[in-house]
Chains A and B, each alone.
Chain A
């Protein structure tokens, strides 16, 4: 590929991924028919996606369920081969040099664990140290860094199977960074976690990104993650890239939208999203006031969550 500056961690060019899926039929008869069916259809999971991620960036890779996020991640990690297009991670084609590529990436799938379930966390760390051939000095340095970022003592000697989901996710993230990879993929790392654990994990990711200048590619459905971590987001839907820019730009994009919150007589808050270009906020308040008593009014800038919702809704029309 031409025009690379050498500062790119990940480059994707016109990447497509098709899956061949058997057309399944309904019912018992259909199931039996499927045994001999050659009736395949092609499903395009990713269509012509191009993007560049620079070193040290944390990007939010967003999209509704089934948009093709995980497929993209799996192509970047080398597990899947793209049907067409080019991918370079750390300057190499991931699926052609899979084992080599694996030495230079870290991966966390929020719903799965790569840790050794029966053993204390420290054993998983030691094994990963040996598998990735991390020099002892670097390993100790990394453990020191972990100590400064999280309360390591409480989990280091705990068997993984006894951990809470939050502790396990935290441990998985630490495990993904142990060989100090230049690029880390985090696939929904905060899924199912409570508020304080989410905050801890975000702090950890930010801390590791800052200390080691690690490029982080993050997929999530939690806009809190995006607000806390990402300056740039890429959104895909139905396999196509529909947005790729700064998060601030995103808000300008929907700059005329306001969140209007009304406190009603029964002390509940009513929330609505209003486009000031088409609707006047005051009109809405007045119309509502005729129906019920309003105790308090708040007008807020649109939240990231609402912006993303708008984009998802917009693209699915």
Chain B
């Protein structure tokens, strides 16, 4: 393991992302519109329910959760599937395969710089705004540390989910449809669009053990002190779930990639 390689890739990623600062502002603006929509939608839901607390969450709990989920989405979002299908179609993948690093590792570290930039430019400002608007509804203590650890794990798990889908492109040459399906599944089952607390009891039982939850629900629960993350026992089980899925997906992704890479035919030239 050569740390210098990884840091260098991250550094270049940060510099590249900063070249596209307009994109960041557009993202913030788009978020604003989305959140206005979410605000009125949930306001209507709470108004029609007749109670202040639905499924153990107040209106402001839900809003904080969803705003932070959106910010987390911007931070975790990567374009592994799009980029890979484009580089397979154009044949550029040959150049990435010719780097003296394992491809999965190389690709992951070429995205980290972008994640760092997004964290600083979208997640932190959103978090601060939420803090100001709610006058400090989020507890600032050890939960921040758990959140950061859980987010890093979520980042790797999310990358692994992407890398379970991206190599399909080597077989089909196009992943547009598959990627849309994947994005919808991840956003729904991870709790990024609807808090998991709102799922029907039976669905929640299943979703609770799926890897998608480890991407959004677990880090956010840790930040907000929900899902038992305020007890040691709860913390251990949440981190345990993340680590198990991390291991499973990494191993499965490696196996899948090693099979898929044999399929490389490399277009053009």
Interface magnitude class on chain A? 20 to 34
Task: Please give the distance in Å from A29's CB to the nearest CB on chain B.
Answer: 21
Q: State A68–B77 Cα separation when bound (angstroms).
A: 39
Scan residues 117-165 of chain A and give those whose CB is less than 8 A from a CB of chain B: 117-119, 123-124, 126-127, 130-133
Q: Known contacts A70-B269, A79-B266, A123-B15: does B95 contact A112 (CB below 8 Å)?
A: yes
Question: How far is it, in angstroms, between the C-alpha of A100 and the C-alpha of B20 when the chains are bound?
Answer: 34
A77-B98 contact given A112-B90, A112-B91, A118-B16, CB 8 Å threshold: yes
Q: Is the CB of B266 within 8 A of A131?
A: no
Binds B, one of A48-56, A102-110, A242-250: A102-110
Contact yes or no, A109 B95, CB < 8 A: yes
A286 at the interface (CB under 8 A from B): no
- The complex places the Cα of A107 from the Cα of B97 at a distance, in Å, of 11
Q: Give the interface size bracket for B toward A.
A: 20 to 34
- Of the candidates B11, B12, B101, the one whose C-beta lies within 8 Å of that of A99 is B101
Residues in A whose Cβ lies below 8 Å from that of B95 = 107, 109, 112-114
**B97 contacts which chain A residues (CB < 8 A)?**
78-79, 98
Pick from B15, B94, B268: contact of A119, CB below 8 A.
B15
Known contacts A109-B269, A131-B101; is-contact A126 B8 (Cβ 8 Å): yes
Contacts A19-B265, A70-B269, A80-B264; A102 near B20 (Cβ below 8 A): no
- Known contacts A79-B264, A111-B268; is-contact A102 B100 (Cβ 8 Å): yes
Residues of A within 8 Å of B265, CB to CB, are 19, 80
Q: Which residue of B lies closest to A21 (CB)?
A: B265
State whether the Cβ of A116 lies closer than 8 Å to any Cβ in chain B: yes
B19 neighbours in A (Cβ, 8 Å): 118-119
A74 at the interface (CB under 8 A from B): yes
Cα A99 to Cα B264 in complex, Å, equals 16
**With the chains together, A262 CA to B265 CA distance in Å?**
48
User: What chain A residues lie within 8 Å of B99 (beta carbons)?
Assistant: 99, 102, 131
A39-88: which have CB < 8 Å to B? 70, 74, 77-81
In the bound complex, what is the Cα–Cα distance between A99 and B265 (angstroms)?
18
Beta-carbon nearest neighbor of A20 in chain B? B265
Q: Which chain B residues border A116 with CB–CB below 8 Å?
A: 12, 16
Contacts of A105 in B (CB 8 A): 98
Query: With a CB–CB cut-off of 8 A, which chain B residues contact A118?
Result: 15-16, 19-20
- Give the residue of A74, A119, A127, A133 whose beta carbon is less than 8 angstroms from that of B266: A74
Asked if B92 lies at the interface with its beta carbon under 8 angstroms from chain A, I say yes
Q: Which residues of A contact B102 (CB under 8 A)?
A: 99
Contact B100–A131 (Cβ < 8 Å): yes
A residues near B92, Cβ cutoff 8 Å: 112
Name which residue of chain B comes closest to A74, CB basis: B266
In angstroms, Cα B95 to Cα A124, docked, is: 14
Verify if B51 is at the interface (C-beta below 8 Å from A).
Answer: no
Q: How far is the CA of A131 from the CA of B107 in the complex (A)?
A: 13
Instruction: Out of B8, B15, B20, B269, name the residue touching A131 (CB < 8 Å).
Output: B8
Report the separation of the CA atoms of residues A84 and B264 in the bound assembly, to the nearest whole angstrom. Answer: 17
| Residue ID in chain A nearest B18 by CB atoms | A118
Are B16 and A102 in contact, CB atoms less than 8 angstroms apart?
no
Residues of A within 8 A of B4 (CB): 130, 133
Contacts of B8 in A (CB 8 A): 126-127, 130-131
Interface flags, B15-29, vs A, CB<8A=1, else 0: 110011000000000
Nearest to B90 among chain A residues (CB) is A112
Q: Which residues of A contact B12 (CB under 8 A)?
A: 116, 119, 123-124, 127
CA distance A166 to B90 in the complex (A): 21
Interface string of B109-121 (1 = CB under 8 A from A): 0000000000000
- Give min CB distance, B113 to chain A, whole Å: 11
Chain A residue contacts of B91, Cβ below 8 A:
109, 112
A71, closest chain B residue (CB): B266
Instruction: List CB contacts (< 8 Å) of A190-205 with chain B.
Output: none
What is the distance, in angstroms, from B3's C-beta to the closest C-beta of chain A?
A: 10
Q: How far is the CB of A152 from chain B (nearest CB, A)?
A: 20
Knowing A81-B262, A119-B12 are in contact, say whether A100-B269 is a contact too (CB < 8 A): no
In the bound complex, CA of A103 to CA of B5 (Å):
13
Contact with A along B240-269 (1 / 0, CB 8 A): 000000000000000000000010111011
Residues of B within 8 A of A127 (CB): 8-9, 11-12
Tell me which residues across on chain B come within 8 A of A124, comparing CB atoms: 12
**A225 part of interface (Cβ distance < 8 Å):** no
Query: 30 interchain pairs (CB within 8 A)?
Result: A19-B265, A70-B266, A78-B97, A78-B98, A79-B266, A80-B264, A80-B266, A99-B100, A99-B101, A99-B102, A102-B100, A107-B98, A111-B268, A112-B92, A112-B94, A112-B269, A113-B95, A114-B98, A116-B12, A118-B19, A119-B12, A119-B15, A119-B16, A127-B9, A127-B12, A130-B4, A130-B8, A131-B101, A133-B4, A187-B269
Nearest first, the 5 closest Cβ-Cβ pairs linking A and B are A130-B8, A102-B100, A118-B19, A103-B100, A114-B95
A residues lining the B interface (CB < 8 Å): 19, 70, 74, 77-81, 98-100, 102-103, 105, 107, 109, 111-114, 116-119, 123-124, 126-127, 130-133, 187-188
Identify 17 new A-B residue pairs, CB closer than 8 A, beyond the known A74-B266, A114-B95: A70-B269, A77-B94, A78-B98, A81-B262, A98-B97, A99-B102, A102-B98, A102-B99, A105-B98, A109-B95, A111-B269, A112-B92, A119-B19, A126-B8, A130-B7, A130-B8, A131-B101
